[in-house]
Structure 1
Amino acid sequence: MKTVAMLALSMLGVVVLGESQHDWREINNAKVSKFSWENCGTAEEVVLNTLSVSPDPINIPGRVTVSASGNMSVELRAPLNVKVILKKSARFFWWEVPCKSNVGSCYYPNICDILNHITPPGNDCPEPLHTNGLPCHCPFESGFYKLPPTDFTVPAINFPSSLTNGDYKIEVHLSDDKKELGCLKATLSVHAE
């Protein structure tokens, strides 16, 4: 669940982030709807059991409630790699959003280093991880993890112009240097005025 929470946040970040800064615009009235998810691939080391996001649609800016639970059957330690595949609907086919400035369909080697940059070792994990006893650094112990229903405020955000409207498919693959450990697929729609 520890890495599942980070994967979910990464997936949301991929939708929020995009191209170069000059292609972005501030979004003060957007809706994210039709969110669905499923585990993918054959790996069973990291499995998301439940993920609930409400309301539908999510208003930006606005409030969102998230809950999740998952299992990790092995300890996860560096190097942990993440491959994100982001696709946008083009009516009759899906096109892969290219990786630009580490955003889009990208490969992120050793996310343990990224997590250490976000919250340096020795510091408390950010909320709601800290309150719920969920760690934010490698290694992650095996076990069952749960994030109870937790409210988040979603502020007005800068959003890549090319990603402000459309239907999206996102796949997030977690692996070590030997094999895939987990996979999560999600779909959602974004509409901004």
Structure 2
Amino acid sequence: MEKKTFLTLFVVLVISQVNCRNSSTLKTRKKAQILGFDWKNCGQPDAPAVLKSLKVSPDPISIPGDLTASASGSTSVELASPLSLNVTLEKEVAGFWVKIPCLEELGSCHYKDACDLLNQVIPPGQDCPEPLPTYGLPCHCPFKAGSYSLPESDFYLPDMDLPYWLTNGHYRVQGVLGSQGQELGCLKIALALHSD
């Protein structure tokens, strides 16, 4: 992800799918574990925004709990508002991948501006959370063209409300970032979720 370009995409994908803070959907506070986290680029070979590396540990990742992550990536263009984000969320059911529809802005949804999603997570004017400032990584649009990296860093994942329909199972998430009808980058994430 990065210089927040790709960490941003990852954060937007994960938080938009799990946080649910603007959703009135029935929520349940659960302890959860993420197992078998994997990722890959799914854009064209010449895509402007590319994640080059992403490592997370431990496996499983506990929520709430500690997470260690490192990432690097690059963008050959400035990423500025509006940045469209098309998310496809699928769950494996009886050996088949089933697309989860967009339910109150969660699931397989189109977001008109990923920059707005970031502003919901970290309001404008609020300091970026550590360790981003330590490494000169922004947390708001625009993201200047360039190469970015986040050295191995520790994070704490707080307790969060999970929507009632986000049950145990295997999930795939694909996020396609775009601007003015042009695809800028694509990222696929696979994981298994286990919650109490």
Deviation at 1:156, TM superposition (A): 2.5
Deviation at 1:109, TM superposition (A): 0.7
Q: CA deviation digits over 1:104-123, x for unaligned, max 9?
A: 11111122233345445454
Q: Residue 117 of structure 2 is aligned with which of 114, 117, 123?
A: 114
Q: Does 1:41 align with 2:43?
A: yes
Consecutive unaligned residues of structure 2, counting only runs of 5 or more, are: none
Aligned twin of 1:165: 168
Instruction: Give distance in 2, aligned partners of 1:35 and 1:171.
Output: 13
Q: Does 1:10 align with 2:12?
A: yes
**Matching residue's letter, 2:99:** E
Q: For structure 1, which segment, 168-177 or 60-69, has the greater mean C-alpha deviation from structure 2 after superposition?
A: 60-69
Residues paired across the two proteins, number: 192
Instruction: Give distance in 2, aligned partners of 1:115 and 1:26.
Output: 23
The residue matched to 1:131 in structure 2 has which SS?
Answer: helix
Kept in 2, the 8 Å contact 1:50–1:70? The answer is yes
User: For the structure 1 residues 96 and 73, does the alpha-carbon distance in structure 2 shift closer, same or farther, using more than 3 Å as the test?
Assistant: same
Instruction: Give distance in 2, aligned partners of 1:21 and 1:114.
Output: 17
Give aligned-pair identity as a percent. 46
The residue matched to 2:14 in structure 1 has which SS?
Answer: helix
> Where does 1:124-143 land on structure 2 (aligned, <5 Å)?
124-143=127-146
Q: CA deviation digits over 1:117-161, x for unaligned, max 9?
A: 544545432322222211122221111101111111122321122
Kept in 2, the 8 Å contact 1:78–1:110? The answer is yes
Please tell me the root mean square deviation across aligned C-alpha atoms, in Å.
Answer: 2.0
Consecutive unaligned residues of structure 1, counting only runs of 5 or more, are: none
Kept in 1, the 8 Å contact 2:19–2:160? The answer is no
Instruction: Give distance in 1, aligned partners of 2:172 and 2:121.
Output: 26
Greater than 6 Å deviation, 4+ residue runs: none
Instruction: Give distance in 2, aligned partners of 1:117 and 1:62.
Output: 23
Q: For structure 1, which segment, 58-67 or 165-174, has the greater mean C-alpha deviation from structure 2 after superposition?
A: 58-67
Aligned twin of 2:90: 87
Structure 2 length as normaliser, TM-score?
0.89
Instruction: Give distance in 1, aligned partners of 2:124 and 2:18.
Output: 27
Aligned twin of 1:155: 158
Instruction: Give distance in 2, aligned partners of 1:124 and 1:20.
Output: 25
Aligned twin of 2:106: 103
**Matching residue's letter, 1:171:** Q
Q: Residue 177 of structure 1 is aligned with which of 176, 180, 183?
A: 180
**Matching residue's letter, 2:151:** P
Instruction: Give distance in 1, aligned partners of 2:71 and 2:34.
Output: 19
The residue matched to 1:145 in structure 2 has which SS?
Answer: strand
Aligned twin of 2:56: 53
